[in-house]
Chains A and B, each alone.
Chain A
Amino acid sequence: MTLSALMPVLDRYFWLHIAVIAALLSLLFVLPEYHSGIMARVMVLVVYALGYNLLFGYTGLLSLGHALYFSAGMYGAGLAIRWLDWSLFPAFFSGIVAATLVALVIGSLALRTIGVAFMIVTMMFAQTGYLLILYFNEYTRGDEGFVIGQAARLIEWGSITVDLSAPDNRYLAAWLVLSLCLLVKLILVRSPTGRVWIGLRENEERARLLGFNPYRYKLSAFVISGIYAGIAGALYAILFGYAGATFASIQYSILPLLWVLLGGAGVVLGPVFGTVVMFYLVDYLSEQTSAYMLFVGVVLVVLVLVAPRGILGSLRRRLLHGLP
């Protein structure tokens, strides 16, 4: 591709995303250690929410079972390290491959349904996955989970060794993956495929009349969204050295929905803001009171009642027209 072909992509909104990425990097040098630790975790979860947004915000498909792909990534990487002694990169990729395959199989089944049935099918398959993790607790250690030792979290490149359990390295690794995922998503939603996704969200019949095969495009959105979840899950296992069944539970399927709704569904940067704001609010509230779940519930209800577009969705309507 020549530079001139890239020009329409490199507009002011592209630079806005670059600025957000740069700001996230600079936070490492500004924030005290406690907060950079939190932000590393948040950035991994943002990757998860970015993928969820591709399916929910852009393609208009509400899945209630994305924890399945997150945990497929987490256990795909974690089990490979624990039982097969794989090193970091092969384990990371085995997590992504696991999530891709699971998303492909479940997606091709679930997409035969629409609307409410789709939501329940995705939820039921995710619940099956969660129960399977509990059932095979000999290998997965079920609810308790297992720790991934520091030895498996080293990148060795000749004489250079990078320890991903060190806070700064962890932050940088999360930032790097997030940046790549964010840029890929920006390119994806502005590509012809991305336009078809949006077309399906707005009016599936019309897209079909124009000659696009809805099933194929929905499946591609589903699988890519699952890959994002898998990347996040595998990265979480490696950076924080833990895999547990909690991450496969229904709650972890609902959280990305909450983050995306709060930040703005159908806006590339929406999940970034949604996740950061929600995570810090919950963190702050759980210090003040034990009733922070009440707050999560109230936020969900208030969002659908008064601000279904979320933070950036509302902003786009007022100020930033055309924000992808």
Chain B
Amino acid sequence: MDFWPYLLLASLEGAVMAAVLALTALGLSLVFGVMRVVNVAHGEFFMLGAVLAWWFSSVSTQWFGISPALAFTVAFIMSPLVTAAVALVADRLVLKRLNYQPEATIVATIGILYIIQQLALTFYGPDARPVVAPFSYRVQLPWFGYSGYKLFVIAAAVFLLGLVWFLLSRTRAGLLMRATQQDYETAQAFGIPVSRVYAGVFAFGAMLAAMAAVLIVPIQQAHYLMGLDPLLLSFIVVIIGGLGSLRGTLIAALLIGMSDGIISVFFSPTLAKILATTLVAMVLVFRPQGLFGDRPQ
């Protein structure tokens, strides 16, 4: 094979990664934007989504004997909901009581990270387990056949991102979120239940991570330590895109996802990560508003 098939393959892999990353990072970005909370446990919500997806799909195929496609649908609905419920409990029991102070919440979410990780290890075990893809159709490209499911992941992610955009810009819930993000004191003075908005945003952010995870488990197996990579990559994306800027987050996810895919194929995955982490640190130091952020902070 010569250069072009490789590049096409790398771009496709990169696009799948960018799609999933955009969803995950959007969750982190919302939580940071609205609540000013750096959620270090975000990757564990991703992992929880994947592990629960395995559980729901295997329970529904074994006990109720339904088809893989239907089992995947059950997992895709149930797993994000349960993950959101866990996040809601964490918000009410811990973050709210800390009054969302930045430093205290970072330490607390590190604690939540360990708690979720250990519970996953205890109840799910150390094995990596796959979820059966809802369909196994191969798309024939000029040089090679490509998994139709991976193309479906890209489409599903784009659809979900559109849905989030609609929710934020065209509904009342989105309006409340944006008002709280701009100035929570004024929002409170206008009778917006800020505390409930915070709880909702935290749960919604976790839900987005879990959705991304359910989409990825048929490709990458569910494992209790799988949360670290999406966490770091989401940080990278959110920072390069500008903290709290949704448009920037999407552009950065595309940039990081594609370049990670391409560098990983042509050089090494470790080198891709080294470049990304260094870039993000440098961006924060020299351009804190992000590469695509508008207003300086």
Judge whether A291 and B122 touch: CB under 8 Å.
yes
Residues of B near A62 (CB, < 8 A) are 103, 106
Residues of A near B107 (CB, < 8 A) are 257, 261, 300, 303-304
Type the 1/0 row for A125-159, where 1 means its CB is closer than 8 Å to any CB of B.
10110011011000000000000000000000000
Judge whether A131 and B111 touch: CB under 8 Å.
no
Cα–Cα distance between A261 and B36 once the two chains are bound (Å): 22
Question: B149 to chain A: closest CB distance in Å?
Answer: 30
Judge whether A300 and B111 touch: CB under 8 Å.
yes
Question: A226 to chain B: closest CB distance in Å?
Answer: 16
Question: B240 to chain A: closest CB distance in Å?
Answer: 11
Question: B263 to chain A: closest CB distance in Å?
Answer: 13
In this assembly, does B285 line the interface, its C-beta being within 8 Å of a C-beta of chain A? yes
Judge whether B110 and A254 touch: CB under 8 Å.
yes
Given A301-B108, A304-B104, also A113-B114 (CB < 8 A): no
Judge whether B281 and A109 touch: CB under 8 Å.
yes
Residues of B near A127 (CB, < 8 A) are 232, 273, 277
Judge whether A124 and B235 touch: CB under 8 Å.
yes
The prevalent SS among residues of A at the interface is helix
Judge whether A110 and B94 touch: CB under 8 Å.
no
Residues of B near A119 (CB, < 8 A) are 38, 106
Question: B40 to chain A: closest CB distance in Å?
Answer: 9
From 90 to 142 in chain A, residues with beta carbon under 8 angstroms from any chain B beta carbon are 109-110, 112-113, 115-117, 119-121, 123-125, 127-128, 131-132, 134-135
Judge whether B98 and A304 touch: CB under 8 Å.
yes
In this assembly, does A294 line the interface, its C-beta being within 8 Å of a C-beta of chain B? yes
Judge whether B285 and A112 touch: CB under 8 Å.
yes
From 274 to 309 in chain A, residues with beta carbon under 8 angstroms from any chain B beta carbon are 290-294, 296-301, 303-305, 308
Judge whether B270 and A301 touch: CB under 8 Å.
no
Residues of B near A125 (CB, < 8 A) are 277-278, 281
From 89 to 118 in chain B, residues with beta carbon under 8 angstroms from any chain A beta carbon are 94, 97-98, 102-104, 106-108, 110-118
Residues of A near B103 (CB, < 8 A) are 62
**Of all chain A residues, which has the CB nearest B111?**
A300
In this assembly, does B239 line the interface, its C-beta being within 8 Å of a C-beta of chain A? yes
In this assembly, does B280 line the interface, its C-beta being within 8 Å of a C-beta of chain A? yes
Judge whether B114 and A297 touch: CB under 8 Å.
yes
In this assembly, does A177 line the interface, its C-beta being within 8 Å of a C-beta of chain B? no
Cα–Cα distance between A117 and B106 once the two chains are bound (Å): 12
Given A113-B284, A113-B285, A297-B118, also A135-B110 (CB < 8 A): no
Cα–Cα distance between A135 and B114 once the two chains are bound (Å): 27
Chain B: interface size category: 35 or more
Given A124-B284, A128-B274, also A298-B268 (CB < 8 A): no
Judge whether B232 and A301 touch: CB under 8 Å.
no
In this assembly, does B288 line the interface, its C-beta being within 8 Å of a C-beta of chain A? yes
**Of all chain B residues, which has the CB nearest A306?**
B97
Which of these, B239, B268, B273, contacts A120 with CB under 8 Å? B239
In this assembly, does B7 line the interface, its C-beta being within 8 Å of a C-beta of chain A? no
Judge whether A299 and B111 touch: CB under 8 Å.
yes
In this assembly, does B119 line the interface, its C-beta being within 8 Å of a C-beta of chain A? yes
Judge whether B98 and A297 touch: CB under 8 Å.
no
Report the 9 A-B pairs with minimum CB-CB distance, sorted nearest first.
A297-B114, A300-B111, A297-B115, A301-B111, A294-B118, A124-B281, A293-B118, A297-B111, A128-B277
B residues within 8 Å of A by Cβ? 36, 38, 94, 97-98, 102-104, 106-108, 110-119, 121-122, 228, 232, 235-236, 239, 268, 270-271, 273-274, 277-278, 280-282, 284-286, 288
Can you list 16 contacts pairing A with B, beta carbon distance less than 8 Å? A62-B103, A112-B286, A120-B239, A124-B281, A125-B281, A128-B278, A135-B268, A291-B118, A291-B121, A297-B112, A297-B115, A297-B116, A297-B118, A300-B114, A301-B94, A305-B94
A residues within 8 Å of B by Cβ? 62, 64, 109-110, 112-113, 115-117, 119-121, 123-125, 127-128, 131-132, 134-135, 250, 254, 257, 261, 290-294, 296-301, 303-305, 308
| Beyond A293-B121, A297-B117, 8 extra complex contacts between A and B, CB < 8 Å | A113-B284, A119-B106, A120-B38, A120-B239, A125-B281, A128-B274, A299-B111, A305-B108
